[in-house]
Amino acid sequence: MNMGGSDMYRAPCSAGRKGDDCRGEIGRDGCCLFTRRQAWLLAALLGIFVGVLLLFSTPARAEYRAYEHEIIDLVECRLKKQKPCKTARVLTSMPADLYERTHGGADRIAVLMIATWMCHGDTSNFRQVCSRPPARKPRFKAGEDVVITLGKHITNGWRGKVEVAYYQASLRSNIYGVRFAERSNIYARYFEKDLAKPGSKEAEAVTGPAPAAAATAETVPEAVPEAASPEAATQAAPAAETPAAETPAAETTEQTAPPAPEAAAQPQQAPPQ
């Protein structure tokens, strides 16, 4: 009995030995890794798994950022001294600094970013960028006057006009572009929460109530005529306040009018002798 031999304590092969429908081998003893039937079963399970992943996976989509720029022709302004400067609007996928460098440089044009948003897809084969998304349930519309309520900001309390309103999905908020025509035509963008309508409580909390002089001017009666002297103004005031008192006087005159002929006829009679 060979107690030291390795054949006596070798573990049995679970898939059979070499040659018994074997699809692979491992170790020096020639034990199979798996049979042909097991190989087909593993391949089928792997195919089903890959098919499920392809069926329920979301397709990958490219995206890019779009810009709306206001282009200012500096040549018309500086050389020809044209006021106001000639401007134009463009939609592009290039930011303001890159557009300026590739279209003449800072000596030729000035670029002001009006709005920016995200687009799905790409701009290959000369595709146009997607249009600006509209605002969702906006509180303000383009052309309306607004007051800035952004505390500790240089424009806090300024009054401007809404020029652009759109929805920015990355911020999940409406964005408003406001133009300040009375302040060198400055343009800035704000969140909806940083704007208020003129005359509202939010606007008065920033700008204060309306001046008292304006309120007094509105309460002055327009029917009071201008008088040359205080005495004439005193005489004119009761005359304007008592138009109804003339009606009873007219009625009294009509009632006393019939006896007037008799009184007038008395002087025609001869005096008594």
Which of these ranges, 103-107, 193-197, 257-261, has the smallest mean pLDDT? 257-261
**Mean pLDDT for the stretch of residues 7-33:** 52
Q: Within 10 A of 204 (CB to CB), how many other CB atoms are there? A: 14
pLDDT at 28: 53
How confident is the model at residue 37, as a pLDDT? 79
The Cα 135–Cα 155 span in angstroms is 23
For the ranges 15-24, 148-157, 213-222, which has the lowest average pLDDT?
213-222
* Residue ranges matching CATH 2.30.30 in the chain: 145-207
Q: What percent of the chain has pLDDT over 70?
A: 63
**CATH code for residues 145-207:** 2.30.30
pTM given for the model: 0.55
- Is the four-CA dihedral 153, 158, 159, 164 of positive or negative sign? negative
* pLDDT level of residue 207 (50, 70, 90 thresholds): confident
Rounded Cα gap, residues 243 and 237, in angstroms? 11
pLDDT digits (tens, 9 = 90+) for 96-132: 999 999 998 988 999 999 999 999 888 888 889 999 9
Mean pLDDT of 78-91: 83
Highest-scoring range by mean pLDDT, 11-25, 44-58, 164-178, 214-228 = 164-178
Between 179-188, 206-215, 253-262, the lowest mean confidence (pLDDT) is in 253-262
Q: Is the pLDDT of residue 4 over 60?
A: no
3-state secondary structure the chain: CCCCCCCCCCCCCCCCECCCCECCEECCCCEECCEHHHHHHHHHHHHHHHHHHHHHCCCCCCEEEEEEEEEEEHHHHHCCCCCCCCEEEEEECCCHHHHHHHCCCCCCEEEEEEEEEEEECCCHHHCCCCCCCECCCCCCCCCCEEEECCCCCCCCCCEEEEEEEEEECCCCEEEEEEEECCCCCEEEEEEHHHEECCCCHHHHHHHCCCCHHHHHHHHCCCCCCCCCCHHHHHHHHHHHHCCCCHHHHHHHHHHHCCCHHHHHHHHHCCCCC
Amino acid at site 64: Y
For residue 216, pLDDT beyond 60: no
Is 68 in contact with 90 (CB distance < 8 Å)?
Answer: yes
Which among 179, 167, 152 is positioned nearest to 116, based on CA atoms? Answer: 167
pLDDT(202) > 50: yes
The closest of 183, 171, 176 to 142, measured between CA atoms, is: 176
Give 248's pLDDT tier (boundaries 50, 70, 90). Answer: very low
Measured distance CA(14)–CA(34) in Å, rounded: 9
Bigger pLDDT: 257 vs 147: 147
Q: Is the pLDDT of residue 222 over 60?
A: no
